[in-house]
Amino acid sequence: MKVRLRKNTIRFRLTQGEAAQLLGTGIVNDITCFGTGDDQRLSYSVKADEHCERMTARIFANEIAVTVPADKLNEWLAGPQIELAGEQTIGVGETMKIRIEKDLSCLKPRPGQEDDDTFPNPRRSETC
């Protein structure tokens, strides 16, 4: 799972295997370690929830967790849509954008880039 943070936006990109895990178990998570101690780990997850009505993101004790309505998540995973988008209020006049995307294969091979287990790129037939 790839995570991108920029200003008040968080974006997760899921491979086909991660999407299948999310569909089957209702959660996909990963950890990035910055050192050996527990306080040097950042965990992040996407979770389906039958009872929530909108996407939410929270951070607590070195964990970023995004919760998504299960019906919207299942519809996204089964369909051709690449991005599932939501946002939440974080203050007066401010919002956080939350994006979950299918990780697409690259149109051109790039050195050092992993393309394993990605979703087929719908633009694959275009000339780059």
Name the residue among 20, 38, 126 with its Cα closest to residue 77. Answer: 20
Residue-wise over 75-110: b if at least 16 C-beta within 10 A, else e?
A: ebbeeeeeebebbeeeeeeeebbbbbbbbbeeeeee
All domains in the chain, ordered by first residue: 2-102 (3.30.1360)
Confidence of residue 128 (pLDDT cuts 50, 70, 90): very low
**Helix %, strand %, coil % of the chain (to 5):** 15, 45, 35
pLDDT tens by residue, 82-109: 889 999 999 889 999 999 998 765 555 6
pTM score over 0.85: no
- Does an H or E element contain 3, and which? strand 2-6
pLDDT tens by residue, 34-45: 999 989 999 999
Give me the mean pLDDT over the 39-65 stretch.
94
